[in-house]
Amino acid sequence: MFYLKDWLDDPEENKKFADKHGYKLKVPDTWEELDAMMAFFHRPDKNRFGGALYRTQFFIAWEWWVRFHAKGYYPFDDNMKPQINSDAGVKALEELIAASKFLYPGARSNGLFENFEAFGQGDKFCNIGWGGTQKFLNSSKSKIKGKMAFGPMPGGKVKGELLKTPYFNWGWNYVVSSVSRQPEIAYLFTLYACSPVMSTLAVRDVDGYFDPFRTVHYKDPQIIQNYSAPFLAVHEQAMRDSIPDLYLRGQGEYFDVLRVNVQAADVGEKKPKEALDEVASKWETITRRMGKQSQVVQWRFLKNNYPQGIRNRLV
C-alpha cells in the first residue's frame, strides 16, 4: 500500500482525525482503519480523494480476496465447500462497496497504468499496487516521488489479534510446454532468466515488468535506487508473509465468477449476499467439473503453503 506522507504527518489533519476516531493518523493496520482514513481524506470539492484503489475487473476481486482473508477464513473448507458467502465474506464485500464512495472518479474505469498516473498526481490519499507501481511513482514522471509512506496490505482483527494477509498475485511464470520439442533447452532458459545475475538485470530495468523476488535483489544498489529502500523493506516482508494465489485447476473460472459478481454488487446490480451466494454455487459447479477429489487434494496442499503464522489463524 502507498500513502501520501504529507497528509499522514499533517498536525492539523492528525488532530481532526484523532478527535473523531480516537487514534492518530498512521499507516493503517486494518481495513477498518484504512476505510476510515479514506473517508476522512475524501474531499472532492477540494479535489482531494480518499483513494485510488481499483474497482475494475480482477483488481476488485483481488481486493475483496484480501479483505475476506483478513476476516480469518479460507475461501474453501477442507472439502472444497466454499466459505466465501459466509457472514465474513458478505461483510468484507459490504465494506469494499462502502469504501468505493471514497475513491477517485476513475476508479471504475481506469486500468493499471492510468492508475499509476492518477495516483502520481498527489491528490489521492492512498493506493494499492505492486513493485511496478512504485517504479513509476518513484520516477521523474510522478509528482509524489519521495513523498510516500508504505505499508503491507491492511489486515483484520481475528479473536482480538491483528491478522495481516498480504497477497501474492499476478506474478510471472516460466512454463515449459509438455509438447515442447526442446524441453531441456527451454528449462535451461528458465533457469538462466531466473538466475541471480540475469534476474537482477531484469528487475533493475525501470521500464520493465519484473519486481524483486530474490534476496539478492533487495541488496542491489540500482534496484534500491529505483524502488527506494523504505518500499523495498515493506515489499520484502510482504513477499515473505504473503498468502498464495488460488493455484487450483480452473483458477481463471473461479476468479472470473468472483469478479463478475463482486463488480455487480459494487455497482448496485446485486445485493452482496446474493452475489456471493451465486459465486459459491458456481464454484461448486466448477469444482465438480474439475474433479472434486483432485481439487480437494490440491486445495489441502495449497493450504499448507500459506505462511505458518497465517495458516494457524485461518479457519
Q: How many separate helices (H) and strands (E) can be counted in the chain?
A: 15, 6
Stretch that binds another protein, among 10-18, 72-80, 124-132, 248-256 (CB under 8 A): 248-256
Pick the binder of another protein from 14, 30, 57, 83 (CB under 8 A): 57
Exposed, middle or buried: residue 262 (CB in 10 Å: 0-12, 13-18, 19+)? buried
Pick the binder of another protein from 248, 266, 277, 306 (CB under 8 A): 266
Least separation in angstroms between residue 107's CB and another protein is: 8
Binding mask 93-132 for another protein (x = CB under 8 A): ------------xx-xx-----------------------
Note every long-range contact of 229-234, with CB atoms under 8 Å and residues 24 or more positions apart, other chains counting.
230/149, 230/150, 231/134, 231/138, 231/148, 231/150, 233/150, 234/150, 234/151, 234/152
Pick the binder of another protein from 249, 273, 303, 313 (CB under 8 A): 249
The reply to whether 194 sits near another protein by the rule CB under 8 A is no
Pick the binder of another protein from 43, 240, 289, 292 (CB under 8 A): 289
First to last CA, the chain: 26
150 φ, ψ (degrees, to nearest 5): -125, 155
Note every long-range contact of 133-140, with CB atoms under 8 Å and residues 24 or more positions apart, other chains counting.
133/2, 134/2, 134/227, 134/228, 134/231, 134/235, 135/206, 135/211, 135/226, 135/227, 137/2, 138/226, 138/227, 138/228, 138/231, 139/206
* Closer Cβ to another protein, 236 or 253, answer by number: 253
Size of the site for another protein (CB under 8 A): 23
CA distances from 115 to 2, 110, 258, 271 (A): 12, 6, 22, 27
The reply to whether 85 sits near another protein by the rule CB under 8 A is no
Least separation in angstroms between residue 110's CB and another protein is: 8
Least separation in angstroms between residue 290's CB and another protein is: 10
* Closer Cβ to another protein, 82 or 154, answer by number: 82
C-alpha cell at 82: 466454499
Least separation in angstroms between residue 29's CB and another protein is: 30
- Beta-carbon contacts of 146 under 8 Å, excluding residues fewer than 6 positions away, are 138, 228
> Among 40, 30, 32, which Cα is nearest to 4's?
40
SS3 state at 4: strand
* Closer Cβ to another protein, 266 or 277, answer by number: 266
* Closer Cβ to another protein, 178 or 308, answer by number: 178
Stretch that binds another protein, among 50-58, 189-197, 200-208, 209-217 (CB under 8 A): 50-58
The reply to whether 173 sits near another protein by the rule CB under 8 A is no
Pick the binder of another protein from 162, 188, 191, 267 (CB under 8 A): 267
The reply to whether 250 sits near another protein by the rule CB under 8 A is yes
Least separation in angstroms between residue 178's CB and another protein is: 5
User: Cα 182 to the chain's mean position, in Å?
Assistant: 36
- Beta-carbon contacts of 307 under 8 Å, excluding residues fewer than 6 positions away, are 240, 241, 242, 243
Least separation in angstroms between residue 233's CB and another protein is: 35
Least separation in angstroms between residue 131's CB and another protein is: 24
Chain positions contacting another protein, by CB under 8 A: 55-57, 105-106, 108-109, 178, 249-250, 252-253, 256, 260-261, 263-264, 266-270, 289
